[in-house]
Structure formats: structure tokens, C-alpha cells
Chain A
């Protein structure tokens, strides 16, 4: 599939890099990137301290997005399916984590540090398992029968599943936002030149980085990971060499769900969450996955951090920023621009020209 299009469409920037005459599209793209760089630079000069604070916030948020974006990219890589329900799985796991923390482990700000650490660790494990189970069940119930059906049918089913998961969460948790007490203190990890970095943000990095390393190891160096990559490349050929394709697909969904679970817990520790949080966040994460090059794991992380930075720059910087009213539009604008100017994403090689 991929070979047919490989020389059909090249990224507009490639032409520029090779010295070819730039097309109108790529010029527009480059000008836009240039303006963006100048804007960032001016903001940096005007208020460096603010800039770095906002940068660190963006980095942290971006890493949470990365966990969700990886779920999209993993599933897309193997089924070429935009799993619309993924964002809602993420929100559901977040809500589930709030039940765990508030009702099962009864963690409060007054709990001892040991209780909190063990409680959160246990929550993390349980929520990961929950996300993995939920996502696998969705795959089994809805997508599995349609694997041989046209891709549009699968995509529409995913949209439907998204609403079902959302409404199940609504039925259980109602419309109110859920939040947990500040379990991780806001004391500084470090402070350089007025730029503070607190433990509650650092905890995100402490969890995310090992998870990402483990994921990368799993995909690159284990038998199961090899099976995943083979199935992603060509399911039929993978089946022919003895890979259990169905099992691999289920495993991928479980993995994606588990990552969503981790993301859900981390998100909950910082923000409020409710039944429909997953819709917007899912779109943001999907944008991140597309930005990085869908199907590409490191791309998803890069894209997510970029989106996190775009969001926090837009909401946190002071000079000439549109502000949080426009965050959604900006992120979707980025999505559309990427798809128009560079459909293969920042790190991707394939064109998405396979419906």
C-alpha cells in the first residue's frame, strides 16, 4: 500500500531543502513557521522567567498528552483506525482513578507520605489494568467483527463507541467534575532564577519517562513487540508466518488502554475531570499523534510535547497571545495545517494517503 504513494506526494519542505523551486503551499508554511519563531523569541526576550515557567508547564502537560497520543498511534499503526473512543477511555480511567483514590484508598492531604506513595502506586497499577481491560473489551465487542469490513464502517463504529463509553461514564459519575486532594505537595524540586518547578509536576515526569522507556523496550525488543510491528506492516503476511494476528491486535488495544490509564491518573492529579473531558483531550492527543507522524511512537511523544507547549505558550505568555479562548481553534488549526502541508507528520515517512 505504502509503496504506491511513496513518490506521489512529498512533503512540501523536501522540495525546499533540495533546492527545488518552492511551491506556494510550502512558502506559506515556511513563512508561518518563521513568524511563530519570531513571536516566541520576542516573548522570550520580554519576559524570560515567565517563558521558562510556561515552558515547563507545557512540557509536563505534553507528557500527559503523550500517553494518550501513543494509544492513538499504536492502534492506528496496526489497524489504520482512528480510535475515537480512546479519549473517552482515558477520561473513564481518570474517573475510575478518582474512585480508587477517594473511596478505596481514602487518600487525603493529611495521609502520611508512605500511604500516599503506596496508595498512588496501587491506584496506578489498578487503573492501568482497568484501562487495558476496557479497551480490549471495546475492541472485542465492537471492532473485532468489523476488521474485514470497509474502513469507513470501522471508523463510524469508533465514533459510536466513543459516545457509548462517554455515556457509561456519565451514568456512573454524573455531570460533575471530579477532583482529588493535592496529594503531591507543591514544594519546589528546584528553583533557578525565579523559575520554580514543583514536585506535583515533576511526579508526572517521574512516571511518564519510565513508562515511555518500557514501552519502547516492549515494542522494539520483545517477541510481542515484534509481532506488533509485523502485524502493522502486513497483517496477512504476519498471519502467514505464524503470528496470532487477533491476539496481537487485542494486545495492542490493551497496551493503548493501559497507557490511557496512566495518563488518566496523572491528569486527575493535576486537573478536574468529568465524563466528557476525554472528547477534547482525545482530539488534542490525536492531533499530537498526527503532528508527530501517526504510527510513529517517538513522533507521538514529540508531537504531544509540541502541542503541550503550543497550548501553554498560548495560554501563559503575555505578548500578542490569542489566549485560552482560542486554544481549541489553534490546536485544530495546527492539525489542519499539518495535514495540508506535511501529511506524514514531523517524523513520519508515509503519506496518510490510504483510506
Chain B
């Protein structure tokens, strides 16, 4: 396997190894590609899976240790990363700027609120719910089912929003999605009295929301937890589950990208007119992008609601949409692993990083500067700087990178249309 391949994506790196003559690099190169390629991923995965066992030791590493997030924070980071990967399907693959993704997050969270809490006191419906006695009023459906329903419901919401608006191109679409992103939270906030019917419980939100679990039979036979929330290992369970969900999202995302539908999305992104001329049904393809992007946002929203056991209207504000967009842009629009990296970095900054950096800065400089107050100024700066100096993102999509390296790119690398 030492002879160079003609046009593999790693072609450039390999050339560097031959001239560089670094022993480590050469050994690395001599490993067959089949084994070599998954190694970095495997290392990251092992680290990620074992993080619950090692994070306490990592956090006690003195000054450096503060940079390692708490397990509960990582759950939140991963939830937002999952949403970013979902948003990437809309923005990155299809080139449709969606500034109202928070609407999908809200839809997912409230689906969980409706179907797995005591919100609707009039009814008493239980379906596979775990850790709840059957005399508790309200709708209590197994959370695993609720995640799916939330995804489906959100996808339908996405289609409903998309049908009238996807006709519009580019910036008008952005503004309409923004409008929906503003309307949904307000409906949720004011939705405690629809002609006397309390749908969303207004500003108080819906809580508590049930937590996922496996019920007593599986607990007794396989030792699986009855209910996450009641377990002593609550954070670990939520962590591993969201890790699995994120990986599933990434997997679906990668597979979708290479599918017929994904290629149609990219074709639309590159040149809408040409794509239509090649026989790609624009509306249907775009609506699929919307629905699938929304699907993952809905699941993530429902999961997050179940993790913090509540859905509150104050969680869903416009800035979240921008925050997610910033993750996608930082990582690289269209690049799945880039978006994961961008999501992890920004998620960490948002949940813990800015506070840690701020306190360290203040301690060192003797100032009293609230860095977290300016977080959205920081995200705005990241957006502008990325757009000005590295529009392809931290880890550019391989396709775009190849286009750049082989000099076949034109001006419309990530343009919606002309």
C-alpha cells in the first residue's frame, strides 16, 4: 500500500510525508488505509465514551483542569451540537439560510412536554412510560417513542413552514424563517389560554417532564435503569444516550449527503437553475431538506426538555438560531465533522468556556470584565471574521476543499443561486 493513489483526498499529505522523512509519519503511512482511516475517529470515540469516568480526574488537573467541562454541561453541548448537525443539512447541504431553527427546537421540546408530563390533567394516558405509577394524570408516553414522535411532528412543522416559503429564494427565505422563529416562542408564551384551553402553560412552561428509562422488566433482567432521572448515574446515562444520538445524527447526515437526495441538495446549493434543468424537483428536494433538518432539531429539543425536565418559553429566543448558525459557519458549512467540531467549541464556550476564560482573565489582569455578557458579540465577531477570512470554515467540506486544491472552483462555491 505504499504506492500513492492517484486522487485520494489525502494525496497532498502523503507527498509531504515522503519529503519530510519523519519516522512517525512514515510508520503512520505504512498502515493500510482501511485501518488507518478509522483510527482517529476510534480514539475520539473511546475518549468520549470514557469521559464520564475520567472527567473528575481531568478537572482536578489544577489550572488546566478548569477547561474540562462538567458532565451535565457536556450533555447540553452535545444537544446543541446535534441541532447544529441538523441545521447543517438545511444551511450547509442545501444552501437555504434558516434563521428560525429555534422554532424546531421549541416544537420538539413542547412535544415532549405534551406527551410526557402532567400537563393535560384531564386525561390519564400511559404508554410504556417508566418510573411513573399509572395513577398519575396526564399523558405519559415512553420517552423513546416521544423522541420519534417529536422528530416526526417537528418534521411536519418544517414541511408546513417550508411549503409556502421555500418558493422564495435566499434572503427572503431567511427572513421568513426568522419570522417563524419569532412567532413560535410567542405562541408558546401566550398559549396558556386558547379559548380557555391551557396548551403550553404560558411563561411558567411545562414541568416536570418524564425522563427516559427502560422500565422494571428490563431493569430486573438486564440491569438497565428504570428511569434516568431517578438513577444515581443520571448524568452518565443522559450523556451516553446523547452521544449515541449525536453519532446517529452524524451517521445519517453523512449517508444522506452521499445519497441521491444529498447530491440533489448540493446541486441546488451550487446552482439552482442548473439543478432544475437537470430534472431535480426543487420544491420537493428543498422541503425534504427542511423536514430532515427539522427532524433532528425536534429530537434534540425533546431530549433536552427531558434532560432538564421542563420546557420553558424563555429558552427559545432568536439568539439560539444565530448561535446554531454560528456553529455551522465556524465548522464549515456542509462539513459534518466540521460542524461537530464547531458545535463542540461554541457549545463549550457557551456553557462553561466563556465563564472560565473570563474568570481566568480577570484573575490575571485584575479586572472585573463580564465576558459572558458579550457572548453574542463574540459569536457575531466569529461569524464576520469567518466570512471575511475563511468562508469555508475550520474543517472545510472535502468536496469544497478538493475543488479549491484542484483549481476547479468558481465563484459560487456556496451560493444559493445567482
Contact = CB atoms under 8 A, between A and B. Distances in A.
Overall SS of chain B's interface: helix
Interface residues of A, number: 45
The 10 closest A-B pairs by CB, nearest first: A355-B170, A167-B377, A163-B380, A160-B383, A355-B169, A150-B415, A332-B179, A160-B384, A160-B380, A164-B380
14 contacts: A142-B388, A149-B411, A151-B416, A152-B414, A153-B414, A163-B322, A166-B377, A168-B377, A326-B186, A332-B182, A333-B179, A339-B168, A354-B170, A355-B173
A156 B413 CA distance: 15
A279 interface: yes
A160 B168 contact: no
A141 to B, nearest CB: 8
Interface string A158-180: 01111110111011000000000
A56 interface: no
Interface string B315-329: 000100010010001
Given A160-B381, A163-B376, A155 B97 contact: yes
Given A149-B391, A151-B170, 15 more contacts: A82-B171, A150-B415, A156-B325, A159-B325, A162-B380, A168-B377, A279-B318, A283-B178, A325-B190, A326-B186, A332-B180, A336-B164, A340-B164, A355-B170, A355-B416
B373 interface: yes
Interface in A217-271: none
Contacts of A326: 186, 190
Interface string A322-336: 000110110011011
A194 to B, nearest CB: 33
A160 B164 CA distance: 27
Contacts of B167: 340
Given A152-B95, A336-B176, A339-B168, A329 B183 contact: yes
Contacts of B325: 156, 159
A333 B176 CA distance: 9
A145 interface: yes
Contact of B411 (A150, A162, A168, A355): A150
Interface in B133-166: 164-165
Contacts of B165: 336, 339-340
Contacts of A339: 165, 168, 172, 175-176
A153 B318 CA distance: 20
Interface of A: 80-82, 142, 145-146, 148-153, 155-157, 159-164, 166-168, 170-171, 279, 283, 286, 290, 325-326, 328-329, 332-333, 335-336, 339-340, 343, 352-355
B387 A170 contact: no
B53 interface: no
B270 to A, nearest CB: 11
B376 A150 contact: no
B71 interface: no
B174 A148 contact: no
B381 A82 contact: no
Interface string B407-418: 000011111110
Contact of A164 (B164, B384, B414): B384
B99 interface: yes
Overall SS of chain A's interface: helix
Contacts of A162: 380
Max count, chain A CB within 10 A of own CB: residue among B169, B322, B373, B388: B388
B388 A159 contact: no
Contacts of B110: none
Given A168-B377, A171-B374, A355-B417, A151 B171 contact: yes
A318 to B, nearest CB: 18
Contact of B412 (A82, A150, A156, A168): A150
B379 interface: yes
Contacts of B178: 283
A152 B388 contact: no
A221 B336 CA distance: 53
A168 B381 CA distance: 11
B187 interface: yes
Nearest to A334: B179
B99 A159 contact: yes
A168 B384 CA distance: 15
A167 B179 CA distance: 22
Contacts of B174: 82, 155
A355 B173 CA distance: 9
A155 B171 contact: yes
A125 to B, nearest CB: 29
A153 B180 contact: no
B376 A166 contact: yes
A167 B383 CA distance: 14
Contacts of A328: 182-183, 186
Max count, chain B CB within 10 A of own CB: residue among A168, A290, A328, A336: A336
B186 A167 contact: no
Nearest to A150: B415
Interface in B180-212: 180, 182-183, 186-187, 189-190
Contacts of B168: 339, 343, 352-353
Contacts of B171: 80-82, 151, 155, 355
Contact of B373 (A145, A153, A170, A325): A170
Given A152-B95, A326-B186, A353 B175 contact: no
Nearest to B318: A279
A162 B329 CA distance: 16
A146 B383 CA distance: 13
Nearest to A164: B380
B187 A164 contact: no
A336 to B, nearest CB: 5
B22 to A, nearest CB: 38
